[in-house]
Structure 1
Amino acid sequence: MKSSTFLALTYLLLCFVMFSGCDGSSNVDNLSASGKLKIVTTTGMVTDIVREIVGDRAEVVGLMGPAVDPHLHQPLREDAVQLSQADIVFYSGLMLEGRMAEIFEQVNRQGKPIFAVTAEVDHEKLREPPEFAGHPDPHVWMNISLWKEAGQYVVEKMTELDPEHAEVYQHNWDAYSLQLDALAEYAVTSIESIPAEQRVLVTAHDAFGYFGDAYGMTVLGVQGITTESAAGVDDINKLVDFIVERKIKAIFVESSVAQNNIRALIEGAANRGWTVEIGGSLYSDAMGETGTYEGTYIGMIDHNVTIISQALGGKVPAGGLNGKLKQD
C-alpha cells in the first residue's frame, strides 16, 4: 500500500473512532432514540434491497451514488462519519468494496452490527473464474435468484436485531419477492427472443457472468471481473476477431466504466470490414440516477434486459417489463 493511501486510511479510521466512541455498545437495545433506525449501506443495489425490506422502519443511507465504481471507491471522511452514526451496516461483500476492507474491520471492532448481504448465498452457485485468483465473482445481483438469497439474509438479520418488527420485514419481503419473480421471468423470455447466434454479450468489464449463466448468454468483458485490471492489446484483438467471426451486431458500454476499450473494439472491427454498434449503456456496478426507475434494482435489471434484447434482435416492449423505462 502506498504511504499516502495508508495515511489517508489511518486518518479516516481515527475519525471513525472519534465519532463513534470506543465502548462498542451499539446493539438492539440502544438503537436510535427516535425509534427509527439508521442503516448505512454501500452500493445502490444493496441500498435498494434494504430499503424495500425495512420500509418506513429505518432511514437508509447509501454511501455510493450513481456511476460510482465500488471496485475503485476509496473511503471518504464522510463515509466514516456516516458509518459511525449507523445503527446497522450492510455491504455487498465478496471483495466488491475491496478498498473499504479496513474501515469495515474497524466498524466490526467497534461492535456495530455489520453484514455482507452475500454472506449466505449458496457458495456452490458462485462463479470462481481463474483470473480472479481463487476469489468468487462478486456481481451476484446480476442473477435475480441469487440476489433474492441476499435479500432473505437481510430479512433474517433485521429480524434478529429488531424482532418486534419481524412481521413488517417479512411482509415487505414477500411483496417484493413477487416483483423479483416477475422480473426473472421477463429476463428469461426476453433473452430467449434473441436469435441464438446473437446471444453474445460483450461489455467493458466482466460483470455479467452471473447474468449469462442464468439467462443463457455468452458473456465476454474487455477487462476482467474487477475494473482495476487492465485490458491488453492482445485481449482487444482477440475480442475483435470473435466479434467479426460471429458477426455480432452490438456491444455495450457500462454506466460506471470508461468507454475507451469498447471504442477500440468498434474501430478494430471496422478495420476488418465489420460494423458493430454500441447497443446501449448498461448498469453493471451501479444503478441509474437516484429517484428514477432505473435507479432501483428492478429498473436496473429491466433496463439491461430490455436494451440487450432490443440491440441483439430480440422482441421486447419498448418500455420494458413495467413500461417505465426512459424512451430515448
Structure 2
Amino acid sequence: MRSNSRAWHGRWAAGRLLLASFAGLLLLGASGCAAGEEHRPTVVVTTNILGDITRNVVGDEAEVTVLMQAGADPHSFGVSAPQAASIEQADLVVYNGLGLEENVLRHVEAAEEAGTSTLAVGDAVDPITYTAGASADEPDPHFWTDPERVRKAVGLIADRITEHVEGVDKSVIEKNASAYGAQITALTTWMRDQFDEIPADQRQLVTNHHVFGYLARRFDFRIVGAVIPSGTTLASPSASDLTSLANAVEKAGVKAIFADSSQPDRLAQVLKREIDLDIDVVPLFSESLTEKGAGAATYLQMMRANTTSITTGLSPA
C-alpha cells in the first residue's frame, strides 16, 4: 500500500510540474506578444486627409492613428484625453501645420518639447499666402488641393519615417512612397486634362471660404472670392462682405458657387439670393474625407470628385 501511495504521489507531483511548465510557456509566449506589441512603431496623424496619405506610405510597417474622423472640420476639431495621450506616446506625429489644426497644435507642440519626432507637412511644401480677405498675407494651410505638393509631401513623410521611426523596413517605405507618388502624378495629369475642357474665361471660383488657392495656382483658375472672406470656417461674413462678393460674382459672370459638402451651404444660398441670378451651388469635398461609400473616402477619390464637380459646374452647357 505504501509503495502504491508513493507511486501515486510521484505521478501527482510530476503532473503538477508538467502543468507548471506548460503554464510558464504560455505566460512566456503571452509576455513575448505583449512586448512585441509595445514595440510596434506608431505614427499619429492629425487630419484624415494626411492620414490617408500617410497610410499609403506606411503600409503595414507601423500602426497609423488618425485623430480626425470622417467629416471633421480641422479648424474646430479638438482632441480627447486618450488622443492627447496617443500624441505624446507616438514615434512620429504628422500634422498639417500653418495654423490649420487650431485646437490640436498645443498638444503637438507639447509632444515635440517632450522629445517626440514631428513633421509639419504644410511648412515644408513651399506654402503660399492668402491674397485677399481677412486672412490676407497669412500662410494658406490648404496645400492638398495641389496634387503636386502632395507628391512632395509623400516623399517628406517617407523620409521622416525612415529616419526617425525604428522598426520599419526602409525599403518597403520607399517602395510604397514611390508607388503612391506615381498615382499622384497620374492624378495631376488627369485633373489638367479635365480642366482643359473649361474655357479660360470661365475658370473662376467662388467658394464657402478661401480653400482652393493652391489648386487655382496649379491649374490656372481665378479666385473671385469666398462667402466667408477668410481661411477658416470659424469666421463669419458681414452684410457688406456678402454685398461686395455678390457684386464681384455678378460682374465676373460666375456660373457656380462651390460649397463644402461637410458644412451647411446656407451662406452660399444667401449669396445666391443676394445676387438674384440663376447660379448653381455645387458641393465639394474641401477639408475632410468622408466615410467609405460617401464619395471621398480617400485623397484620390476626393480630388477626382472635386475635379469632376468643378469641370461640370463651369463648363459650357
Q: For residue 54 of structure 2, what is the aligned residue in structure 1?
A: 50
Cα gap change, 1:132 to 1:243, in 2 (>3 Å) = closer
1:191-228 deviation digits (Å, cap 9, x = unpaired) = 12112232111110000011111111112211111112
How far apart are 1:106 and its partner, in Å?
1.4
Paired AA for residue 289 in structure 2: M
Gaps of 5+ in 2: 1-34
Conservation of the 8 A alpha-carbon contact between 1:140 and 1:210: yes
1:86-115 deviation digits (Å, cap 9, x = unpaired) = 232111111111222221121112222222
Matched, 1:262 2:277: no
Moved more, 204-213 or 98-107: 98-107
Counterpart among 171, 175, 178 of residue 174 in structure 1: 178
Partners of 1:277 and 1:66 lie apart in 2 by: 26
Partners of 1:268 and 1:121 lie apart in 2 by: 38
- Aligned residue for 1:99, secondary structure, equals coil
Gaps of 5+ in 1: 1-31, 316-328
TM-score, normalising length: structure 2: 0.81
Q: Identical aligned pairs, as a percentage?
A: 30
Counterpart among 95, 98, 104 of residue 94 in structure 1: 98
Counterpart among 235, 245, 251 of residue 245 in structure 1: 251
Matches within 5 A, 1:8-157: 33-34=36-37, 36-123=40-127, 126-129=128-131, 131-132=134-135, 134-157=137-160
Q: For residue 31 of structure 2, what is the aligned residue in structure 1?
A: none
- Aligned residue for 2:76, secondary structure, equals coil
- Which of structure 1's runs of 4+ aligned residues deviate more than 6 A? none
Paired AA for residue 171 in structure 2: E
How far apart are 1:151 and its partner, in Å?
1.5
- Aligned residue for 1:258, secondary structure, equals coil
Paired AA for residue 44 in structure 2: V
Moved more, 109-118 or 185-194: 109-118
Q: In the comparison of the two structures, how many residue pairs are matched?
A: 278
1:38-71 deviation digits (Å, cap 9, x = unpaired) = 2111111110111000101122111111221111
Paired AA for residue 176 in structure 2: N
Paired AA for residue 155 in structure 1: A
Paired AA for residue 250 in structure 1: A
Q: Which structure's CA Rg is the greater one? A: 2
- Aligned residue for 1:294, secondary structure, equals coil
- Aligned residue for 1:266, secondary structure, equals helix
Partners of 1:50 and 1:293 lie apart in 2 by: 20
Partners of 1:256 and 1:282 lie apart in 2 by: 8
Partners of 1:58 and 1:310 lie apart in 2 by: 40
Partners of 1:292 and 1:231 lie apart in 2 by: 29
How far apart are 1:134 and its partner, in Å?
4.4
Q: For residue 226 of structure 2, what is the aligned residue in structure 1?
A: 221
Q: For residue 285 of structure 1, what is the aligned residue in structure 2?
A: 287
Paired AA for residue 255 in structure 2: K
- Aligned residue for 2:123, secondary structure, equals coil
Partners of 1:60 and 1:314 lie apart in 2 by: 44
Q: For residue 10 of structure 2, what is the aligned residue in structure 1?
A: none
Matched, 1:235 2:241: yes
Cα gap change, 1:40 to 1:202, in 2 (>3 Å) = same
Partners of 1:37 and 1:199 lie apart in 2 by: 45
Aligned-pair Cα RMSD in Å? 2.1
Partners of 1:33 and 1:87 lie apart in 2 by: 15
Matched, 1:188 2:192: yes
Conservation of the 8 A alpha-carbon contact between 1:117 and 1:151: no
Partners of 2:188 and 2:88 lie apart in 1 by: 37
Matched, 1:299 2:305: no
Partners of 2:158 and 2:188 lie apart in 1 by: 20
How far apart are 1:251 and its partner, in Å?
1.2
Partners of 2:109 and 2:48 lie apart in 1 by: 21
How far apart are 1:250 and its partner, in Å?
1.6
How far apart are 1:128 and its partner, in Å?
4.3
